[in-house]
Chain A
Amino acid sequence: SQQGEEDPQALSIQEGENATMNCSYKTSINNLQWYRQNSGRGLVHLILIRSNEREKHSGRLRVTLDTSKKSSSLLITASRAADTASYFCALGPGYSTLTFGKGTMLLVSP
């Protein structure tokens, strides 16, 4: 399957704590992307990391990619209640199409 698999399926933390989500995959990729989906809304692109990159940052987000282990992690630092959402990793075997995992549901409590 070309689908990434997020872990954990659900994560519950307090505001101010860090949240870490992982994505494992089995195929070769060109890039890996992370998306956020708030309840009842469309997905929002967070960050793209290419297969020749190991780490990327965007604000409070940090993404790592280990192609030898076929895994990626998304770290959200100093989480806020507004970060409550589902987070998906998406694999880009090429650029044109993405396959999405089932997602991690993150709940950040005030």
Chain B
Amino acid sequence: DAGVIQSPRHEVTEMGQEVTLRCKPISGHDYLFWYRQTMMRGLELLIYFNNNVPIDDSGMPEDRFSAKMPNASFSTLKIQPSEPRDSAVYFCASSSLTGDGYTFGSGTRLTVV
């Protein structure tokens, strides 16, 4: 397996624009997580899915953030409209209930100017 695949690796966008981050989890993993990492706040859990169903989105900072998982092999995190304070590294991770730990993607570094 190629691991958890995220795209794009880097995204620079202007304030007010829509941003879509993409994630392909490991095949067979039934949990998918979106985290955000900043120097100030560390790693924050934004939302997680189990079997494609959103379970807990209490970490999503505002209504500007939304996430979907239309099938077991794809998830998106959308920010609309983006703001400079959204600048961070966004990680997707997946896991299975029977496995050991999470597998993280390489992240998307988002810069909103």
Residues in chain A within 8 A of chain B (CB atoms)? 33, 35, 41-45, 48, 88, 95-103
Contacts and interface: CB of A to CB of B under 8 A. Distances in A.
A43 B42 CA distance: 12
Instruction: Give the interface size class of chain B.
Output: 20 to 34
Q: Is the interface of B mostly helix, strand, loop or mixed?
A: strand
A103 B103 CA distance: 18
Interface of B: 4, 31, 33, 35, 42-43, 45, 48, 50, 55-56, 91, 93, 97, 100-107
A96 B104 CA distance: 15
Nearest to A42: B104
A100 B104 contact: no
B48 to A, nearest CB: 6
Contact of A45 (B33, B101, B106): B101
